[in-house]
Amino acid sequence: MLELKGIEKRFNRGTPDESVLFDQFNFSVREGEFVSIVGSNGSGKTTLLNLVSGTLFPDAGKIFLDGEDITDRKEYVRAREIGRVFQDPSRGTANSMTIAENMAIAENKGKAYGLTAGLNKKRVSAYRDMLRPLGLGLEDRMNTPVGSLSGGQRQVLTLLIATMTPIKILLLDEHTAALDPKTAEQTMVLTDKIVREKGITTLMVTHNLRFAEQYGTRLCMFDKGHVVLDAAGEEKAKQKVDNLLALFNEISIECGN
Amino acid sequence: MFFLNQMSTILQMGFIYAIVGLGVYITYKILDFPDLTVDGSFPLGGVVFSVLLVNGCPWYVGMIAAFAAGALAGFVTGVLHVKLKINGLLSGIITMTALLSVNYLIAGGAQVAFSQLDTLLHNSMLDSLPRAAANYVAVLFVLLFVALCKVLLDLFLKTKSGFMLRATGDNPQLVTQMGRNTDNYKMLGLSIANGLVGFAGSFYCQNGSVYNSSMGTGTVVIALACVIIGCVISKHIRVMADTTGVVIGAVLYYAILTAALLLLGSDYTKLIVAVLFVLVLVFDSGLIGRTLKGFVKRKRARQGEKGGGSDA
């Protein structure tokens, strides 16, 4: 489904500060997998998502999505097949526009944005039906600007927007990190529900070891551009937060932290 | 009679700058782009209109050309910004500076006069009317176009394309996520905005039947003041669209400017424009409101102390 081959990525290229993150890095994700990625800061988790989404380009190597080489495609072109939710809730929605308007934009993804009505009034009740199962009461606030919603509500809406049209892969970039523990939990439960229902291949970067252990079908731990733990299926089921934390500490000590 | 004449001038200039304001509303409010092209695209529209008229084109052709020329100027700023990655503020300044020469070359000098030629605002039909009536009919003509621009802009902002333009200013990442290139929407917004500004420039020249190369100086400051006043008004009146606010803001601005000019004389024009802009910005930041509230509070507290003292 998703395949990164021989990826090389350096930062501050050509300066004395040059650092190599990925060198001959290979990573692949099978269709329908829900991969949780953990690792310390600077381990390459977010860079991996940025390489897949096209925010960053590799210095060498190839990226394939569904067998197609997407290495040289620009971010906005790749985005047609990729959904993404960021850590910052304000990055996923247009904040001065209403909930209904945001959903109308999302529903049209992949089609032309021409001179027909931006918001089809007849669709609003369908949007309401999509919001109702979330249990946040958003279905009664269709004409509220998204900017006046709380971070958690916005993040859930972003999740819905990112998965409204068929996509090949969903990228979750620490999407619960800016939320309070309870909201983070709710968001995670909803994420799991949406991903399962739609069977979307998902890459989730998180700092929450418990989420990584509890959700998803595969767990990876990154360190300095290498995958130090890769457990799927039964092997993943054996992983507990305690031994994850132990491994995590081991890596961090190696770093000198 | 004096009052009636002043009133028609205020409305006339207010409506002309309302069109500029609608353009600047697109860049400043919707795209969040500080566009200084306006100081150049306003006279560009004026000079294109004037030169075409002098060379025998009917006024309506001149006005359409003025819109197109303004849009082209905005497009150039857009290309400088999104394709050559030049800072937005600088892109506008570069285009504006270049337009000073371009305008001079098109005009073949600093002035183009056409007082004998028929335009929308000065023609044989209007000349047959009494002067005051003719002024007001001319005001009405401009108002019609203001209304047309406003309604078309409102409608556009409700289309799918308009939604994406708004999203580009709000959160470019969302537009990217929808598989669209934000560059295109920025260029589109800048083109429409400066098209409107050029269109307004043609009205400005028709109003005096002359093009003058100095007409552009300070346009962006006046337009921003109109937009900010307008948005303050529409924020407090829920049912009012921002664009309606901009039109009212422009007329209000010109009323205040005219009053100040009558008191101080026209030598002070640009100084008054600058001071008024500062006042509008300070008012918008809420500084005046807070200071006044604080003042009232302190005064009340002091009175309370005094009252308490006399009771005891």
Residue count of chain B: 312
For residue B214, the distance in angstroms to the closest alpha carbon of chain A comes to 38
CA A235/CA B38 separation, integer angstroms: 64
CA A111/CA A114 separation, integer angstroms: 9
Token reading at B117: 């030629």
What residues have CB less than 8 Å from A238, skipping those under 6 apart?
A231
- Does B160 contact A83 at a Cβ distance shorter than 8 Å? no
SS (H, E, C) A141-207: CCCCEHHHCCHHHHHHHHHHHHCCCCCCEEEEECCCCCCCHHHHHHHHHHHHHHHHHHCCEEEEECC
Q: Is the confidence at residue A257, as pLDDT, over 50? A: no
Q: How many CB atoms lie within 10 A of CB B114?
A: 21
Q: How many CB atoms lie within 10 A of CB A144?
A: 14
CA A185/CA A188 separation, integer angstroms: 5
* Residue B250 contacts residue B17 (beta carbons within 8 Å): yes
Q: What mean pLDDT comes out for the span A155-172?
A: 93
pLDDT tens track for B50-81: 999 999 999 999 999 999 999 999 999 999 99
Q: Is the confidence at residue A230, as pLDDT, over 70? A: yes
Q: What mean pLDDT comes out for the span A127-144?
A: 91
Confidence at B172, pLDDT banded by 50, 70, 90: very high
Nearest to A171 by CA among A198, A205, A197: A205
CATH number, domain A2-96+149-255: 3.40.50.300
Q: What mean pLDDT comes out for the span B218-247?
A: 91
CA A144/CA A98 separation, integer angstroms: 5
CA A106/CA A102 separation, integer angstroms: 6
Candidates A97, A99, A105, A168, partner chain B, best to mutate (most B CBs within 10 A)? A105
Q: What mean pLDDT comes out for the span A109-136?
A: 91
pLDDT tens track for A10-68: 988 888 888 889 999 999 999 999 999 998 888 889 999 999 999 999 999 999 999 99
Residue count of chain A: 257
- Does A80 contact B175 at a Cβ distance shorter than 8 Å? no
Confidence at B108, pLDDT banded by 50, 70, 90: very high
Q: Is the confidence at residue B304, as pLDDT, over 80? A: no
pTM of the prediction? 0.89
What residues have CB less than 8 Å from B227, skipping those under 6 apart?
B21, B24, B25, B28, B29, B246, B249
Candidates A75, A76, A123, partner chain B, best to mutate (most B CBs within 10 A)? A76
Q: What mean pLDDT comes out for the span B200-224?
A: 94
Q: Determine which helix (DSSP H) or strand (DSSP E) holds A69, and give its type and residue range.
A: strand A68-69
Q: Is the confidence at residue B287, as pLDDT, over 90? A: no
